[in-house]
Amino acid sequence: MSEHVDKASMPLERVRRYLEPGPIVLVSSAWEDQRNIMTMGWHTVMAFAPSLVGCIISSSNHSYEMIRRSGECVINLPTTALADQVVDVGNSSGAEVDKFERCGLTAQPAEKVSAPLIDECHAHFECRLFDDSLVERYNFFIWEVISARAAVLPEYPETLHYTGDGIFMVAGKIIDRRDRFLPQML
């Protein structure tokens, strides 16, 4: 059950703020009357404008066909509070269960895509397929983020960064080095 959390839209070039640190994310998708969630750790920011994100979605995932057919998904950012749900999403198959129900996650309508948001997550990046030229060879999708929202607080939530072997690193502590940067590099 989700609690009410204030979330605000952000300019699309701010997506890097959340994804460049490399967190594990939950990708939600829908096609016809099906919906699903998968975990994803293999992604990278690719451009500010248009706001592009590249990622690997293996064709062995139940989500693959839904994502391929719809050409849409939502990248949701979970915090450490959702560590168990993240593991459970990665360790079950949408072919057998509805992962929203199984994992106690709440689907909410997105603004610009048919795929649902996962309300319990800290941030949501609605994506439309931008380039599928490397999908066949590498399962590499390039997405354009067309809408982005994040919880207003906390400013730097604790996020999960997967290392394999069931172990996550936690990021959340901040090092501020703004005063060491050249102004044009900020």
Residues that bind a second copy (CB under 8 A): 14, 16-18, 20-23, 41-47, 52, 54-56, 80, 83-84, 87-88, 90-91, 131, 133-134, 137-138, 140, 142, 156, 159-182, 185-186
Beta carbon nearer to a second copy, 32 or 181: 181
Question: C-beta of 68: minimal distance to a second copy in Å?
Answer: 18
Question: C-beta of 88: minimal distance to a second copy in Å?
Answer: 7
Instruction: Sort residue 165 into left (φ over 0), alpha (ψ -120 to 50) or beta.
Output: left
Beta carbon nearer to a second copy, 70 or 80: 80
Q: Give yes or no for a contact between 156 and 23, defined as CB atoms under 8 angstroms apart.
A: no
Beta carbon nearer to a second copy, 83 or 108: 83
What tokens does 9 get?
Answer: 């839209």
Residue of 24, 60, 51, 57 lying closest to 134 (CA atoms): 57
Rg (CA), the chain: 16
Q: Give the integer Cα–Cα distance in Å for 4 and 94.
A: 27
Q: What is the DSSP string of 31-62?
A: ETTEEEEEEE--EEEEETTTTEEEEE--TTST
Question: C-beta of 48: minimal distance to a second copy in Å?
Answer: 10
Question: C-beta of 7: minimal distance to a second copy in Å?
Answer: 18
Beta carbon nearer to a second copy, 125 or 168: 168
